Structure 1
Amino acid sequence: MAKILKIYPENPQEHLIQEVIKTLKNGGLIIYPSDTVYAMGCNIFDIKAMEKLAQVKGVKLEKAHFSIICNNLSHLSEFTKPIDTACFRLLKHYLPGPFTFILNANKTLPLAYKGQKTIGIRVPDHPIPQLIVSKLGHPIASTSIKDDDDVLEYTTDPELIAEKYKNIVDLVIDSGYGDNKASTIVDLTEEVPKVIRNEKGDFKD
């Protein structure tokens, strides 16, 4: 049964954040808020946790393409090939924000990402995921929580999310209602940026 923690952006309590960190370090799955929709995440360096995350999504881990959640751009060199000044300025302009940027991956990716040519990078404009990554000491893997409903693609109520996933994840962070629009996805692997999914973020290059 998943534990539910009420953590609000205005005043995230240290001991509650530490409980989230402990869960991630122990290989647990968490549901957390972001500047877009609620998402599910885990420790990118825990292969078993990554396999569980893939299982929840109904895909094999080698076929999964989980975003990497960072708290700033300092982690880029760990996961991506070198980027030019123009690309870095673009990222700095839009992040933190409701965007996922696809970049060319390097060869030092965590084990669960091995073989991937590209990687999705997110820096949410939300204090809770930023704090989690900061306290954990490295980024987390993440995937948006989609709804089974044909009309509402994303559930915004954390209580309903917790009820649905209570036997699947280890911890749910209730931070109030989330958004019902996912991040805008922009491919930066070629010379000209390409919007793959146009959602919450307004990308104008």
Structure 2
Amino acid sequence: MNMFEFLHRTPAGLLRFGDAARLADHLRGGGLAVLPTETGHLLGAIATDLTAVRKVFTAKGRSESNPVHVACSSLALASRWAELDEVAVDLLSRFTPGPLTVVVPAKNLPAELVTLNGTVGIRVPDHPATLQVVDLLGVPITATSLNRSGEESLPLDRGTLETLAWPEGETVYVLEHDEAITEPSASTLVRVTDDGGLEVLRKGPVEL
């Protein structure tokens, strides 16, 4: 049987320091967590731990040929895991934290599951607790939505949580904050091309 441990946030949207530390340790140990963003709740695992990331794919029923994007907590952290040119820095500086994912060359990340042809989608979600946890970790987490692959994002309650194929016997940490979801669609997805141009791969809340 799976166990969900529901965490509580402060009025400012942060986790208490003890809860944030426990959650970070849980993720470091290969665990999964559900965390809020402005476009919905994400299903998070440490993006550098392929065993943990595979749990995300299994839970969602997602094909491993379809890599997920990653969430960072700052430009400084993103620059450790991706090659950010002036165009990418400008986009991330102007529109994040917020509903924009920028596809750029990856570095120091596994060559599967979170990268595609040497690129990675970088996301900086607009939620204080989610950024707090990623900052504590010092590494990106997966930024895929909480849903079965190909379906709409799920409302967050125990019933819908139990529809996913969680790792047997493992605890999943959950921070619910439906009120933080301010955007009706997934993040805008844009790729920075080799010549410094932009290719919009998915339209969303940010218009470029």
Corresponding residue number in structure 2 for 1:13: 16
Residues 158 and 176, structure 1, Cα contact 8 Å, conserved in 2: no
| Paired-residue identity, % | 27
- Cα deviation code 1:20-45 (max 9, x no counterpart): 11210111111111121111010122
What TM-score do you get using the length of structure 1 for normalisation?
0.82
Say whether 1:141 aligns with 2:159. Answer: no
Query: 1:163 and 1:34 mapped to 2: Cα distance?
Result: 20
Secondary structure of 1:81 counterpart: coil
Further displaced range: 89-98 or 188-197: 188-197
Corresponding residue number in structure 1 for 2:25: 22
Corresponding residue number in structure 2 for 1:91: 92
Letter in 2 for 1:48: T
Corresponding residue number in structure 1 for 2:52: 49
Query: 2:31 and 2:93 mapped to 1: Cα distance?
Result: 31
Query: 1:59 and 1:196 mapped to 2: Cα distance?
Result: 19
In structure 2, which of residues 193, 198, 201 is the aligned counterpart of residue 193 of structure 1? Answer: 198
Corresponding residue number in structure 2 for 1:170: 172
Cα distance change of structure 1 residues 171 and 78 upon mapping to structure 2, 3 Å threshold = same
Letter in 1 for 2:163: K
Query: 1:141 and 1:3 mapped to 2: Cα distance?
Result: 19
Give ranges in structure 2 of 5+ residues lacking alignment: none
Query: 2:27 and 2:63 mapped to 1: Cα distance?
Result: 21
Structure 1 residue 87: deviation in Å? 3.4
Further displaced range: 30-39 or 174-183: 174-183
Secondary structure of 1:77 counterpart: helix
Corresponding residue number in structure 2 for 1:184: 188
Say whether 1:70 aligns with 2:77. Answer: no
* 1:26-37 alignment, distance < 5 Å: 26-37=29-40
Residues 4 and 162, structure 1, Cα contact 8 Å, conserved in 2: no
Secondary structure of 1:120 counterpart: strand
Letter in 2 for 1:18: A
Structure 1 residue 174: deviation in Å? 1.8
Letter in 1 for 2:80: E
Further displaced range: 131-140 or 168-177: 168-177
Secondary structure of 1:33 counterpart: strand
Letter in 2 for 1:110: P
Query: 1:109 and 1:116 mapped to 2: Cα distance?
Result: 12
Cα distance change of structure 1 residues 110 and 37 upon mapping to structure 2, 3 Å threshold = same
Residues 39 and 99, structure 2, Cα contact 8 Å, conserved in 1: yes
Q: Matched residue pairs, number? A: 198
Say whether 1:110 aligns with 2:100. Answer: no
Structure 1 residue 94: deviation in Å? 1.0
Give ranges in structure 1 of 5+ residues lacking alignment: none
Further displaced range: 97-106 or 51-60: 51-60
Query: 1:147 and 1:64 mapped to 2: Cα distance?
Result: 13
